[in-house]
Amino acid sequence: MAYDDKIYWPLYARCVELDLPLTAYVGLPGPRVPGAAQDPIHLDEVLWSFPDLRVVLRHGGEPWESLCVKMMLKWPHLYYSTSAFAPRHLPQAIIHYMNTRGADRVLYAGYYPGLDYRRIQQEVEALPLRDHVWRLFLRENARRVFKLAAPD
């Protein structure tokens, strides 16, 4: 069911109450199953109704990656994770957003064991990111969104 189905609203309320982020799979799924429920627009009403809910978009959002960016511009607690992508295939809309207004909104996520660590490292290092984006993308954004403690 789509994310705006009211059956999920108690879950969203509980996430807010417990101060836990919600991860949401968005984008057309690879398997041959219907994909309309994963259209990120279904989170628009949710984010309006639960303004303190932190949501992390996962699995790329394609073919709606530009919509994902527009929604992140609109909703202050909406984030994007690079899960399910080989780094060299990250959508250009996301790369541009990271380098401009969204450096603090995109979280790195690998895809092991789907992709070998060496390949991931080589492709991440080749991303055309501005210097100030790297630390946020690879570490700080996830620490902030998931409220992870700094290592000693």
Mean residue pLDDT across the chain: 95
Nearest Cα to Cα of residue 109 among 82, 135, 87: 82
Query: For residue range 26-76, what is the model confidence (pLDDT) as tens digits?
Result: 999 988 999 999 999 999 999 999 999 999 999 989 999 999 999 999 999
Confidence of residue 85 (pLDDT cuts 50, 70, 90): confident
Q: How large is the average pLDDT for residues 115-119? A: 89
Q: What is the pLDDT of residue 110?
A: 83
Question: How far apart are alpha carbons 148 and 20 in whole angstroms?
Answer: 11
Confidence of residue 112 (pLDDT cuts 50, 70, 90): confident
Domain 6-145 adopts which CATH fold? TIM Barrel (3.20.20)
Token pair for 116: 């070998």
Is 12's pLDDT higher than 90?
yes
Q: What is the pLDDT of residue 143?
A: 97
Is 151's pLDDT higher than 80?
no
Looking at the DSSP assignment, which residues form a beta bridge with residue 106?
Answer: 80
Question: How far apart are alpha carbons 25 and 38 in whole angstroms?
Answer: 6
Looking at the DSSP assignment, which residues form a beta bridge with residue 58?
Answer: 25
Q: What is the pLDDT of residue 144?
A: 97
Question: How far apart are alpha carbons 75 and 145 in whole angstroms?
Answer: 14
